[in-house]
Protein backbone atom coordinates (compact mmCIF):
# COMPACT_ATOMS: atom_id res chain seq x y z
CA UNK A 1 0.00 0.00 0.00
CA UNK A 2 1.27 3.57 -0.64
CA UNK A 3 2.27 4.98 2.77
CA UNK A 4 3.13 8.61 3.41
CA UNK A 5 4.58 10.07 6.60
CA UNK A 6 2.97 13.41 7.39
CA UNK A 7 4.97 16.09 9.17
CA UNK A 8 3.21 19.22 7.94
CA UNK A 9 -0.31 20.53 8.51
CA UNK A 10 -0.19 22.20 5.10
CA UNK A 11 -0.07 18.97 3.09
CA UNK A 12 -2.91 19.40 0.53
CA UNK A 13 -3.57 15.66 0.42
CA UNK A 14 -5.09 16.02 3.89
CA UNK A 15 -7.58 18.77 3.04
CA UNK A 16 -10.53 16.38 3.25
CA UNK A 17 -9.72 15.78 6.94
CA UNK A 18 -9.23 19.44 7.81
CA UNK A 19 -11.38 21.15 10.49
CA UNK A 20 -13.89 18.34 10.80
CA UNK A 21 -15.89 20.21 13.45
CA UNK A 22 -16.68 22.99 11.00
CA UNK A 23 -20.26 22.76 9.67
CA UNK A 24 -20.56 21.26 6.20
CA UNK A 25 -23.09 22.36 3.64
CA UNK A 26 -26.05 20.02 3.36
CA UNK A 27 -26.39 18.44 -0.03
CA UNK A 28 -28.19 15.64 -1.84
CA UNK A 29 -25.17 15.27 -4.13
CA UNK A 30 -22.71 12.41 -3.89
CA UNK A 31 -19.35 13.20 -2.31
CA UNK A 32 -16.96 12.06 0.37
CA UNK A 33 -17.43 11.41 4.07
CA UNK A 34 -15.19 10.74 7.08
CA UNK A 35 -15.25 7.71 9.37
CA UNK A 36 -13.65 7.78 12.82
CA UNK A 37 -12.38 4.89 14.92
CA UNK A 38 -11.19 1.40 14.09
CA UNK A 39 -14.58 -0.30 14.22
CA UNK A 40 -16.20 2.17 11.82
CA UNK A 41 -13.16 2.30 9.52
CA UNK A 42 -13.13 -1.50 9.33
CA UNK A 43 -16.80 -1.47 8.32
CA UNK A 44 -15.94 1.01 5.59
CA UNK A 45 -12.97 -1.07 4.38
CA UNK A 46 -15.05 -4.25 4.32
CA UNK A 47 -18.24 -2.71 2.93
CA UNK A 48 -19.49 -1.67 -0.50
CA UNK A 49 -18.40 1.99 -0.33
CA UNK A 50 -15.09 3.01 -1.86
CA UNK A 51 -12.32 4.07 0.55
CA UNK A 52 -10.32 7.04 -0.72
CA UNK A 53 -7.62 7.23 1.96
CA UNK A 54 -6.77 6.47 5.59
CA UNK A 55 -5.20 8.84 8.12
CA UNK A 56 -3.83 7.16 11.23
CA UNK A 57 -1.07 6.76 13.75
CA UNK A 58 1.66 4.19 13.13
CA UNK A 59 0.21 1.89 15.80
CA UNK A 60 -3.24 1.96 14.19
CA UNK A 61 -1.69 1.27 10.78
CA UNK A 62 -0.07 -1.87 12.14
CA UNK A 63 -3.39 -3.13 13.54
CA UNK A 64 -5.28 -2.39 10.32
CA UNK A 65 -2.58 -3.66 7.93
CA UNK A 66 -4.38 -6.93 7.01
CA UNK A 67 -7.43 -4.93 5.87
CA UNK A 68 -5.66 -2.24 3.84
CA UNK A 69 -5.76 -2.73 0.08
CA UNK A 70 -2.51 -2.49 -1.84
CA UNK A 71 -3.64 0.59 -3.80
CA UNK A 72 -5.07 2.50 -0.81
CA UNK A 73 -3.24 5.68 0.23
CA UNK A 74 -2.38 5.63 3.94
CA UNK A 75 -1.20 8.81 5.66
CA UNK A 76 0.68 8.28 8.92
CA UNK A 77 1.06 11.07 11.44
CA UNK A 78 1.51 11.52 15.20
CA UNK A 79 -1.58 12.14 17.30
CA UNK A 80 -0.63 15.79 17.93
CA UNK A 81 -0.56 16.63 14.22
CA UNK A 82 -3.85 14.81 13.55
CA UNK A 83 -5.53 16.68 16.41
CA UNK A 84 -4.40 20.05 15.06
CA UNK A 85 -5.49 19.10 11.55
CA UNK A 86 -9.01 17.92 12.37
CA UNK A 87 -9.71 20.62 14.95
CA UNK A 88 -10.30 18.60 18.13
CA UNK A 89 -8.43 16.24 20.46
CA UNK A 90 -7.91 12.98 18.63
CA UNK A 91 -8.10 9.68 20.55
CA UNK A 92 -9.49 7.19 18.03
CA UNK A 93 -6.24 6.29 16.26
CA UNK A 94 -7.60 6.26 12.72
CA UNK A 95 -9.83 8.15 10.30
CA UNK A 96 -10.76 7.23 6.75
CA UNK A 97 -12.24 9.11 3.84
CA UNK A 98 -14.93 7.20 1.97
CA UNK A 99 -16.93 7.98 -1.14
CA UNK A 100 -20.69 7.98 -0.97
CA UNK A 101 -22.36 5.31 -3.10
CA UNK A 102 -23.81 6.35 -6.42
CA UNK A 103 -27.02 8.28 -5.87
CA UNK A 104 -30.02 5.99 -5.71
CA UNK A 105 -33.66 6.96 -6.10
CA UNK A 106 -36.92 5.44 -5.00
CA UNK A 107 -37.47 3.97 -8.48
CA UNK A 108 -34.26 1.95 -8.38
CA UNK A 109 -34.92 0.83 -4.79
CA UNK A 110 -38.37 -0.48 -5.71
CA UNK A 111 -37.02 -2.21 -8.82
CA UNK A 112 -34.35 -3.97 -6.74
CA UNK A 113 -36.96 -5.76 -4.61
CA UNK A 114 -38.11 -9.26 -5.60
CA UNK A 115 -41.72 -9.16 -6.85
CA UNK A 116 -44.32 -9.51 -4.09
CA UNK A 117 -41.63 -9.73 -1.40
CA UNK A 118 -42.35 -8.25 2.05
CA UNK A 119 -40.43 -5.03 2.64
CA UNK A 120 -40.14 -2.12 5.06
CA UNK A 121 -38.97 1.39 4.12
CA UNK A 122 -38.54 4.32 6.52
CA UNK A 123 -39.10 7.95 5.52
CA UNK A 124 -37.61 10.84 7.54
CA UNK A 125 -38.53 14.06 5.72
CA UNK A 126 -36.87 16.62 7.99
CA UNK A 127 -34.91 15.21 10.92
CA UNK A 128 -32.44 17.80 12.21
CA UNK A 129 -30.58 15.88 14.91
CA UNK A 130 -27.86 13.58 13.52
CA UNK A 131 -28.08 11.34 16.59
CA UNK A 132 -31.76 10.73 15.90
CA UNK A 133 -31.19 10.01 12.23
CA UNK A 134 -28.23 7.71 12.94
CA UNK A 135 -30.24 5.78 15.52
CA UNK A 136 -33.18 5.38 13.13
CA UNK A 137 -30.87 4.17 10.33
CA UNK A 138 -29.33 1.62 12.68
CA UNK A 139 -32.78 0.49 13.87
CA UNK A 140 -34.09 0.20 10.31
CA UNK A 141 -31.15 -2.01 9.38
CA UNK A 142 -31.48 -4.08 12.56
CA UNK A 143 -35.12 -4.96 11.85
CA UNK A 144 -34.62 -5.82 8.21
CA UNK A 145 -35.58 -2.56 6.48
CA UNK A 146 -34.70 -2.37 2.80
CA UNK A 147 -34.02 1.36 2.69
CA UNK A 148 -34.46 4.80 4.20
CA UNK A 149 -35.39 8.08 2.54
CA UNK A 150 -34.07 11.26 4.22
CA UNK A 151 -34.97 14.84 3.36
CA UNK A 152 -32.37 17.12 1.82
CA UNK A 153 -33.39 19.82 4.31
CA UNK A 154 -32.55 17.60 7.26
CA UNK A 155 -29.20 16.43 8.56
CA UNK A 156 -26.70 14.84 6.16
CA UNK A 157 -26.95 11.02 6.47
CA UNK A 158 -23.19 10.75 5.88
CA UNK A 159 -22.16 13.27 8.52
CA UNK A 160 -19.64 12.16 11.15
CA UNK A 161 -22.24 11.90 13.92
CA UNK A 162 -24.77 10.01 11.81
CA UNK A 163 -22.05 7.56 10.75
CA UNK A 164 -20.94 7.11 14.35
CA UNK A 165 -24.46 6.78 15.82
CA UNK A 166 -25.58 4.38 13.10
CA UNK A 167 -22.49 2.25 13.82
CA UNK A 168 -21.82 2.15 10.11
CA UNK A 169 -25.30 0.94 9.11
CA UNK A 170 -25.52 3.89 6.70
CA UNK A 171 -22.66 2.27 4.76
CA UNK A 172 -24.81 -0.79 3.97
CA UNK A 173 -28.47 0.23 4.13
CA UNK A 174 -29.62 2.01 0.95
CA UNK A 175 -30.16 5.67 1.94
CA UNK A 176 -31.89 7.97 -0.53
CA UNK A 177 -32.19 11.74 -0.22
CA UNK A 178 -35.20 13.53 -1.68
CA UNK A 179 -37.55 16.44 -1.08
CA UNK A 180 -40.18 15.21 -3.54
CA UNK A 181 -42.29 13.45 -0.95
CA UNK A 182 -45.38 13.32 -3.12
CA UNK A 183 -43.32 11.55 -5.79
CA UNK A 184 -41.69 9.20 -3.26
CA UNK A 185 -45.03 8.15 -1.80
CA UNK A 186 -46.63 7.81 -5.22
CA UNK A 187 -43.89 5.42 -6.34
CA UNK A 188 -44.07 3.42 -3.11
CA UNK A 189 -47.86 3.12 -3.41
CA UNK A 190 -47.44 1.91 -7.00
CA UNK A 191 -45.07 -0.77 -5.66
CA UNK A 192 -47.76 -1.96 -3.18
CA UNK A 193 -46.33 -0.23 -0.12
CA UNK A 194 -48.86 0.93 2.46
CA UNK A 195 -47.73 4.28 3.87
CA UNK A 196 -48.26 4.90 7.59
CA UNK A 197 -47.65 8.27 9.25
CA UNK A 198 -46.51 8.16 12.88
CA UNK A 199 -48.54 10.88 14.59
CA UNK A 200 -49.63 12.20 17.98
CA UNK A 201 -53.37 11.94 17.39
CA UNK A 202 -55.88 10.07 19.56
CA UNK A 203 -57.99 9.49 16.44
CA UNK A 204 -55.20 7.50 14.76
CA UNK A 205 -54.82 3.72 14.95
CA UNK A 206 -53.40 2.53 18.24
CA UNK A 207 -50.06 0.95 17.40
CA UNK A 208 -50.45 -2.34 19.24
CA UNK A 209 -53.73 -2.98 17.36
CA UNK A 210 -52.47 -1.87 13.93
CA UNK A 211 -52.36 -4.58 11.27
CA UNK A 212 -49.03 -5.18 9.52
CA UNK A 213 -49.15 -5.15 5.72
CA UNK A 214 -46.52 -7.10 3.72
CA UNK A 215 -45.02 -3.87 2.38
CA UNK A 216 -44.95 -0.82 4.61
CA UNK A 217 -43.49 2.69 4.40
CA UNK A 218 -43.23 4.33 7.82
CA UNK A 219 -43.09 8.14 7.94
CA UNK A 220 -41.59 9.99 10.93
CA UNK A 221 -41.71 13.73 11.52
CA UNK A 222 -39.41 16.50 12.62
CA UNK A 223 -38.24 16.60 16.25
CA UNK A 224 -40.16 19.77 17.11
CA UNK A 225 -43.06 20.03 14.67
CA UNK A 226 -43.77 16.46 13.61
CA UNK A 227 -45.18 15.81 10.15
CA UNK A 228 -46.86 18.47 8.05
CA UNK A 229 -50.60 18.06 7.56
CA UNK A 230 -50.04 17.80 3.80
CA UNK A 231 -47.66 14.87 4.23
CA UNK A 232 -50.00 13.14 6.68
CA UNK A 233 -52.81 13.42 4.12
CA UNK A 234 -50.61 11.79 1.47
CA UNK A 235 -50.21 8.69 3.67
CA UNK A 236 -52.72 5.86 3.53
CA UNK A 237 -52.88 5.35 7.30
CA UNK A 238 -51.95 7.00 10.61
CA UNK A 239 -50.69 5.26 13.73
CA UNK A 240 -49.99 6.49 17.25
CA UNK A 241 -48.19 5.05 20.28
CA UNK A 242 -50.43 4.95 23.38
CA UNK A 243 -48.81 6.74 26.33
CA UNK A 244 -49.46 7.13 30.03
CA UNK A 245 -51.19 10.11 31.63
CA UNK A 246 -49.23 13.36 31.54
CA UNK A 247 -46.88 12.23 28.73
CA UNK A 248 -47.67 13.71 25.34
CA UNK A 249 -44.62 12.62 23.30
CA UNK A 250 -41.35 10.71 23.26
CA UNK A 251 -38.08 11.16 21.39
CA UNK A 252 -38.49 10.50 17.65
CA UNK A 253 -35.73 7.89 17.56
CA UNK A 254 -37.33 6.00 20.45
CA UNK A 255 -40.74 6.26 18.81
CA UNK A 256 -39.32 5.06 15.50
CA UNK A 257 -37.76 2.02 17.20
CA UNK A 258 -41.11 1.04 18.70
CA UNK A 259 -43.02 1.55 15.45
CA UNK A 260 -40.43 -0.15 13.23
CA UNK A 261 -40.30 -3.16 15.55
CA UNK A 262 -44.09 -3.51 15.42
CA UNK A 263 -44.31 -3.42 11.63
CA UNK A 264 -41.17 -5.47 11.05
Give span(s): CATH 3.30.1330.30, the chain. Answer: 3-99
Cβ contacts of 115 within 8 Å, gap of 6 or more: none
Q: CA-to-CA distance for 166 and 130, rounded, in angstroms?
A: 9
Q: Is 37 left (phi over 0), alpha (psi -120 to 50) or beta?
A: left
**Span of 23-32, 33-42, 180-189 with lowest mean pLDDT:** 23-32
User: Is residue 214 over pLDDT 50?
Assistant: yes
Are the C-beta atoms of residues 99 and 29 closer than 8 Å to each other? no
Q: What is the pLDDT of residue 25?
A: 47
pLDDT level of residue 53 (50, 70, 90 thresholds): very high
Q: What is the pLDDT of residue 23?
A: 57
pLDDT level of residue 26 (50, 70, 90 thresholds): very low
Are the C-beta atoms of residues 121 and 49 closer than 8 Å to each other? no
> How many CA atoms are closer than 13 Å to the CA of 49, on its beta-carbon side?
32
Q: Which fold has domain 106-263?
A: Alpha/beta knot (3.40.1280)
The backbone torsions φ and ψ at residue 184, rounded to the nearest 5 degrees and listed phi first, read -60, -50
Q: What is the pLDDT of residue 103?
A: 74
Q: What is the pLDDT of residue 27?
A: 47
Give whole-number Cα distances, 55 to 14, 69, 99, 113, 188, in Å.
8, 14, 15, 37, 41
Three-state secondary structure readout of 84-146: HHHCCCCCCCEEEEEECCCCCCHHHHHHHCCCCCCEEEEEECCCCCHHHHHHHHHHHHHCCCC
- Segment 88-140, tens digit of pLDDT: 777 678 999 999 888 789 999 999 999 999 999 999 999 999 999 999 999 99
* Architecture in CATH for domain 3-99: 2-Layer Sandwich (3.30)
Return the number of other C-beta atoms located less than 10 Å from residue 106's C-beta: 23
Average pLDDT of the chain to the nearest whole number: 91
SS3 content of the chain, % helix, strand, coil (to 5): 35, 20, 45
The bridge status of strand 237-240 relative to strand 194-198 is parallel
Give span(s): CATH 3.40.1280.10, the chain. Answer: 106-263
Give whole-number Cα distances, 178 to 50, 157, 222, 228, in Å.
23, 12, 15, 16
Q: What is the pLDDT of residue 6?
A: 81
Q: What is the pLDDT of residue 233?
A: 97
**Span of 27-41, 74-88, 186-200, 208-222 with lowest mean pLDDT:** 27-41
Cβ contacts of 187 within 8 Å, gap of 6 or more: 106, 107, 110
pLDDT level of residue 24 (50, 70, 90 thresholds): low
Mean pLDDT of the region 224-229? 91
pLDDT level of residue 30 (50, 70, 90 thresholds): low
Amino acid sequence: MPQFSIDSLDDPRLDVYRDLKAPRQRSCDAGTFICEGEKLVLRLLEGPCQTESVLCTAAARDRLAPHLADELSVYIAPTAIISRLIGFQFHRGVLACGRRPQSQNIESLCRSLPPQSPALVVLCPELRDPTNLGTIIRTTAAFGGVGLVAGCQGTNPFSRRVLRTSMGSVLRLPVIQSDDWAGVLERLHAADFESIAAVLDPAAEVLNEARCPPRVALVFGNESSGLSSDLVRMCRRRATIPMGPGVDSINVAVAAGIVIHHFA
